[in-house]
Amino acid sequence: MAIKCGLEIHQRLSGKKLFCNCPAHVEGLKSEGAFSRKLAAAKSELGKSDIAVSFEVAKEKTFEYSFSECSACLVEADEEPPHKLNEEALAVVVALCKSLGSALVDEVHVMRKLVIDGSNTTGFQRTAIVGTGGKLATSKGDVRISTVCIEEESCAIGEEGKTSFSLDRLGIPLIEIATEPDVVDAAHAKETALGIGTLLRMSNCVQRGIGTIRQDVNISVDGGNRVEIKGLQELGMMETLVQKEEQRQRKLAQIGEEVQKRSNGKFEIGEQKIVDVSEIFLESKCALVKKGMQAGGVVLGICVPFHAGLLGKEVYEGRRYGSEVSDYAKAAGVRGIIHSDEDMEKYGISEDEVTELRFALSCKKEDAFVLVVAKEKIAQAALSLALKRLEGAATLGETRRAHPDGSSSFMRPLAGGARMYPETDVEPIRIDEVLLKKAGKIKIESPEEKLAGLCKILPEHMAKRMLMSRNLGIFERIVEEGIAPLLAATVLEDTLVALRRENVAVERIDEERLIAVFEEYRSGKITKAAIGELLRAVANEPQKEMSALVREKGLAKISGVELATLVKAENAQLGAIMAKYRLRVDAAEVQKLLKKN
Amino acid sequence: MYSKDAQKLLKGAKVGDELRLHTSEKEYSGILMPHPDNGDENCVVLKLSSGYNVGIDAGKISRVDVLQKGKGIVVGSAAKKNAGGSTGKTSDAGKSAGSVFQSGEGKEFVSLLGCGGTIASKVEYKTGAVYPASKPEEIMESFPNISKISNIRSRVLFQLLSEDMAPRHWSAIAGEVADEIKSGPQGVVLMHGTDTMGYTSAALSFMLQELPMPVVLTGSQRSSDRPSSDADVNVTGAMLAAKSDIAQVMVCMHKGMSDDVCSLHSGVRVRKFHTSRRDAFASVNAKPVGEADVVKGEVRAFGEHRKRDMKRKLKLFEKVNENVALVWVYPGMDEKFVKKLGDFDGVVLACTGIGHAPVNAFGTKDANSILPALEKIMDAGTLVALAPQTIFGRINMDIYTTGRLLKKAGVIGDLCDWLPETAYAKMCWALGQERKKEKAAGLMMRNIAGEISERSAMDERVEFG
């Protein structure tokens, strides 16, 4: 059997936040205030706490939130109920539903999805289905759309041990497009994500830039449990991510089979006894253990039957099964585990200590062990969680966090539908004629139509590049400002990329500043050749006034009488003048003056 | 309720049943939800297996299949029936709930009494409907951490939203607290709606005199069904305060936006200043009595306060007169309105400035005066007192002619720095204690629980920025 894979694409929309009137565009601002909160588990609608939720509660954390006044208000601080759902954002989602062929619901019901890792001040994310069904045509057949949702952005994707958050991005409207598991392989996953991303950009109502689009991947192998991997930002890593996950799930299945083989199908971790083995380490040279015990911690251990040699097995290159177990333990607040397939010498644990340890834990030859060093309560919780992972080596239903290199790590158990209940503070929104009319005004061209339009103003190869580029929207805006299309495209697609390769922080140049740079050129204040240098200067000092940057970097264009005087004085050839004043003079103008002379 | 069309379409299907709806575009399978009271009654609401609710226009539905009969969803129906059942006569108020829940073993305990409000609400998760908790066990379930602070004896007195409370409920609560104190707790915690908590705390301050132990009111601004509710911190703070040394009526609510410290306000000095913030409550013309640090688990008292003395004998003065009005003075206030106030035994005027109302002190042609009407109702027996609508500061009726005219006419409240709400609660109480207007006026002007102070200290103003 092959893999089953579906995608969830989250894209930030432009305009205002979803449930208040704060702008949706601000990030990375200075913190102007802070507060701290605790989150308690509310019982789910079925009267039971959802598994993913209770997992977080086990951690009993205090979360710190910082905010800047212009990007967040009392709504984000959970000090004021949400206002009405942003109808402009809803109209965009309705328009996109139509272009995907999704059937609109007639009344949008906002739900609360419990997420108590601190990434939402409320302890839940507000989300609503706007459309269901529809499809995206791909080279490997249609990928069906299951749902199109509108939802609020969280403070951040919960990171390991993360307890401090900024409210800047909380509440930004997101469109979430979820596909059925019709994706057949890693390359197809990338193609599908790219296709949806392009469609989203066609609306011109979405935000651009790193972090404004995220791909979640749902994947299961050979009918095993589903794993959700959240927060992939770089589409370029999609294939690697899917490949690695496929590999991981297959490897886990193999490990599971091996355990069953060794145990004649009798392996069951059950209530494995957690043993305090601190005494063995009283004189230990192991720095990690010493430090932990000095801080009031204990060393707790468990025996893992039939697992000798398996914790060290790689699930994919650079990641061992032991790391998978460690991820679970970390959720309780420990920094990691020590397991028997690791190099004990590296830890400074002696052979005698290992022998004593194995004895204390009743470890047989075919068994492995796992240790944690922490305060007793935390250590207990950590090993209990590690046991959850060890229960069955096969893939567990998990939510995992995507890393930039295409690998992933465990976040929490996969949540069920049980963690949803209605957001009674927001009234249901009827999708009526007024809203449909508003959505109708949002023009979403098909990619083919868009390409045809671009080909009219750009050479074909550049038009194709522009179509797939996340800079498409800003390109169109720059062209509207009267800049030559080819120049705009070249600067966006080549100059900025080249600067990024030189490690210039081009992401610090926002849309307005980018347009201001083009304006400097259009109004004749700088030459075409200086655009790149000015962009570099803006990236380095994004707050500084444009005219000051031009002056300080010596980029002001020399022309007219000044240039004529210069040409006369230099009395040189075009080449010599250009070599000296490359960024400040226009070659055509110099040539003209030389001819005159 | 769904519209008639929708009901007709749904035929026998009941809320909780699993249905499949067919429209020309799609099929939807899910559990039929009750119709939310603010939605379109012609939209059928289904909960899909993903947990999401969607509304489908009944007009578009061509067929309904009932896939599975559900067990039905109980929307807190038992609780709803009880809710409001105790709003009746004074003699019945508070007697509705009998069951007592006791946690832990050992002699020392704190009494936890539920008076309704957001804090004592439960959520029905399928529909999101919030309903009042009717059993003490339900309240205890909502706050699993507080039994770590003390053994608890809990009872539910009412299931009232605080906006629905009347002075007779203050009496009932005072009576219940007095009963509770007889059973020997370390202190009493009252869970109460926040809207009118300041009124109740003021009234209890007058009714429960010579308190041997703390009586602490607490509530919540964000309902306890939310993971981010402030309820747990406030109740924890109130439990700590109930075990403290401060033997008076207090209000315990968040000090700031963080879940760490609660302020303890004097029952007669506290006011709700914000519709939604956790730190909505502040002390007026006084500093808080202290604070409860929930993180450290300690209470810090500020300045002088009456100490706990379990031998001190509580004096209960629970009688009230409910025929009292609290009226905001406003520009253009008219005689005909003031005349109507003659129907009341007492009126608190939340006056402008330092003690003013439109009485046309300059005798300008183009200005009205409510003075003749005021004099008339006072002559007929209505007691009238002033309290400042500026909230902060003290009344002084000798500064301007306007004040002097009101004072001469018999309006009381001169030199009082009480809150309008506190003055109102006090007048209900004073007219309940004394039938004669003059005697009640005397009682009004006597400081009972710190509601009238002698000094206005420099640092008693909340900074509003």
Helix/strand/coil for B26: coil
State ipTM.
Answer: 0.89
Mean pLDDT of B262-285: 97
Helix/strand/coil for B7: helix
What's the pLDDT at A559? 85
> What does the pLDDT look like over A503-521, one tens digit per residue?
888 878 888 888 899 999 9
* Domain coordinates in residue numbering, chain B: 4-68, 77-316, 324-445
pLDDT at B271 > cutoff 90:
yes
The residues, ordered by sequence, that sit 6+ positions from A128 with a Cβ below 8 Å of its Cβ are: A85, A108, A109, A110, A111, A149, A150, A151, B52
Please say whether the beta carbons of A230 and A219 come within 8 A. no
pLDDT at A204 > cutoff 90:
no
- Residues A499, B324: Cα–Cα separation, whole Å: 76
Assess B26–A contact: CB distance below 8 Å, yes or no: yes
- Residues A12, A24: Cα–Cα separation, whole Å: 9
Cβ of A185: how many Cβ atoms within 10 Å? 16
Of the ranges A484-498, A503-517, B197-211, B374-388, which one carries the lowest mean pLDDT score?
A503-517
Q: Which phi and psi (to 5°) does residue A86 adopt?
A: -60, 110
- Residues B453, B450: Cα–Cα separation, whole Å: 6
Please say whether the beta carbons of B382 and B345 come within 8 A. yes
Q: What is the 3-state secondary structure (H, E, C) of A434-459?
A: HHHHHHHCCCCCCHHHHHHHHHHHCC
Question: Which of B38, B53, B256 shows the shortest C-beta gap to A35?
Answer: B256
- Partners of B122 on chain A (C-beta within 8 Å) are none
**B364 catalytic residue (yes or no):** no
- Partners of B53 on chain A (C-beta within 8 Å) are 109, 111, 422
Kindly state the DSSP code that residue A67 receives in the 8-state scheme: E
Q: Which two tokens stand for residue A413?
A: 């158990």
Residue A152 forms beta bridges with which residues?
Answer: A173
**Do the chains contact at B232 and A38, CB–CB below 8 Å?**
yes
Residue B46 forms beta bridges with which residues?
Answer: B32, B54
Do B4-68 and B77-316 agree at the fold level? no
The dihedral built from the CA positions of residue A16, A18, A20 and A24, taken in this order, carries a sign that is negative
Q: Which of A79, A66, A69 is nearest to A26 (CA)?
A: A69
What's the pLDDT at B78? 36
Q: Which of A117, A61, A10 is nearest to A399 (CA)?
A: A117
Give me the CATH code for the B324-445 domain, please: 3.40.50.40
- Residues B150, B105: Cα–Cα separation, whole Å: 10
> What does the pLDDT look like over A218-275, one tens digit per residue?
999 887 789 999 988 888 889 999 999 999 999 998 998 899 899 888 887 777 789 9
Give the strands of the sheet with B324-328, arranged side by side: B324-328, B346-351, B383-388
What's the pLDDT at A42? 55
**Do the chains contact at A114 and B38, CB–CB below 8 Å?**
no
pLDDT band at A590 (very low <50, low <70, confident <90, very high): confident
Q: Which is it for strands A33-38 and A429-430: parallel, antiparallel or unpaired? A: unpaired
pLDDT at A163 > cutoff 90:
no
pLDDT at A102 > cutoff 90:
yes
- Residues B264, B292: Cα–Cα separation, whole Å: 7
Q: Which two tokens stand for residue A29?
A: 């601002």
Mean pLDDT of B339-356: 98
- Residues A315, A461: Cα–Cα separation, whole Å: 41
- Partners of B48 on chain A (C-beta within 8 Å) are 129, 417
> What does the pLDDT look like over A293-310, one tens digit per residue?
998 999 999 999 999 999
Mean pLDDT of B179-205: 97
List the catalytic residue out of B90, B194, B200, B422: B194
Give me the CATH code for the A269-391 domain, please: 3.30.1360.30
Mean pLDDT of A105-112: 96
- Partners of B224 on chain A (C-beta within 8 Å) are 42
**Do the chains contact at B227 and A103, CB–CB below 8 Å?**
no
**B422 catalytic residue (yes or no):** no
Of the ranges A311-325, A407-421, A454-468, which one carries the lowest mean pLDDT score?
A407-421
The residues, ordered by sequence, that sit 6+ positions from B167 with a Cβ below 8 Å of its Cβ are: B203, B320, B321, B322, B324, B425, B428, B429, B432
Start-to-end C-alpha separation, chain A: 79
What's the pLDDT at B120? 78
pLDDT at B115 > cutoff 50:
yes
Residues 105 through 164 of chain B touching chain A, CB cutoff 8 Å: 123-130
List the catalytic residue out of B243, B272, B407, B426: B272
Question: Which of A35, A40, A62 shows the shortest C-beta gap to B227?
Answer: A40
What's the pLDDT at A543? 83
Tokens 């009488």 correspond to what residue? A561
Q: Which of A10, A25, A43, A38 is nearest to A418 (CA)?
A: A43
What's the pLDDT at B458? 85
**B194 catalytic residue (yes or no):** yes
**B275 catalytic residue (yes or no):** no
What's the pLDDT at A236? 84
Mean pLDDT of A376-395: 83
Of the ranges A76-80, A140-144, A154-158, B314-318, which one carries the lowest mean pLDDT score?
A154-158
The residues, ordered by sequence, that sit 6+ positions from B284 with a Cβ below 8 Å of its Cβ are: B269, B270, B271, B391, B392, B419, B460, B462
What's the pLDDT at A161? 62
pLDDT at B237 > cutoff 90:
yes
Helix/strand/coil for A504: coil
What's the pLDDT at A445? 85
Q: Which of B33, B27, B18 is nearest to B60 (CA)?
A: B27
pLDDT at A189 > cutoff 80:
yes
The residue ranking higher by pLDDT, B37 or B53, is B53
Please say whether the beta carbons of A61 and A435 come within 8 A. no
Helix/strand/coil for A543: coil
Please say whether the beta carbons of A180 and A6 come within 8 A. yes
Q: Which phi and psi (to 5°) does residue A492 adopt?
A: -65, -40
- Partners of A426 on chain B (C-beta within 8 Å) are none
Assess B50–A contact: CB distance below 8 Å, yes or no: yes
Please say whether the beta carbons of A522 and A530 come within 8 A. no
* DSSP notation for B274-341: -SS-TT-EEESSS--SEEEETTTTEEEE-S--PBP-TTSPPEE-------EEEEE--TT--HHHHHHG
Helix/strand/coil for A397: coil
Q: Which two tokens stand for residue B462?
A: 């909340």
pLDDT band at B465 (very low <50, low <70, confident <90, very high): low
pLDDT > 70: what percent of chain B? Answer: 91
What's the pLDDT at B92? 41
Q: Where are the alpha helices (DSSP H) in A110-172?
A: none
- Partners of B60 on chain A (C-beta within 8 Å) are 106
CATH 3.30.1360.30 region(s) of chain A? 269-391
pLDDT, averaged across chain B: 89
The residue ranking higher by pLDDT, A590 or A140, is A140
The contacts found for A496-502 with CB under 8 angstroms, 24 or more apart, are A496/A471, A496/A535, A498/A532, A499/A532, A499/A535, A499/A536, A499/A539
Residue B356 forms beta bridges with which residues?
Answer: B352
Residues 572 through 591 of chain A touching chain B, CB cutoff 8 Å: none
In angstroms, what separates the C-alpha of B308 from chain A's closest C-alpha? 32
- Residues A143, A148: Cα–Cα separation, whole Å: 14
Mean pLDDT of B370-388: 97
Residue B346 forms beta bridges with which residues?
Answer: B324, B383
Rounded alpha-carbon distances, angstroms, from residue B374 to B315, B396, B402, B406: 36, 19, 13, 9
The residues, ordered by sequence, that sit 6+ positions from A68 with a Cβ below 8 Å of its Cβ are: A26, A29, A30, A31, A32, A166, A168
Torsion, CA B127, CA B131, CA B137, CA B140, rounded to 10: 90
- Residues A475, A466: Cα–Cα separation, whole Å: 8
Q: Which of B15, B47, B142, B228 to mutate to test the interface with A (most CBs of A within 10 A)?
A: B228
- Residues A351, A348: Cα–Cα separation, whole Å: 10
pLDDT at A405 > cutoff 80:
yes
Give me the CATH code for the B4-68 domain, please: 2.30.30.520
**Do the chains contact at A122 and B54, CB–CB below 8 Å?**
no
Question: Which of B25, B54, B228 shows the shortest C-beta gap to A78?
Answer: B228
- Residues A500, A498: Cα–Cα separation, whole Å: 5
Helix/strand/coil for B209: strand
> What does the pLDDT look like over A526-545, one tens digit per residue?
999 999 999 999 999 888 89
In angstroms, what separates the C-alpha of B278 from chain A's closest C-alpha? 6
Of the ranges A469-483, B97-111, B186-200, B354-368, which one carries the lowest mean pLDDT score?
B97-111
What's the pLDDT at B97? 46
Of the ranges A540-544, A554-558, B74-78, which one carries the lowest mean pLDDT score?
B74-78
What's the pLDDT at A572? 66
pLDDT band at B81 (very low <50, low <70, confident <90, very high): very low
- Looking at CATH, the fold of the domain delimited by B77-316 is given as Rossmann fold (3.40.50)
The contacts found for A290-295 with CB under 8 angstroms, 24 or more apart, are A292/A373, A292/A374, A293/A373, A295/A375
Assess A39–B contact: CB distance below 8 Å, yes or no: yes
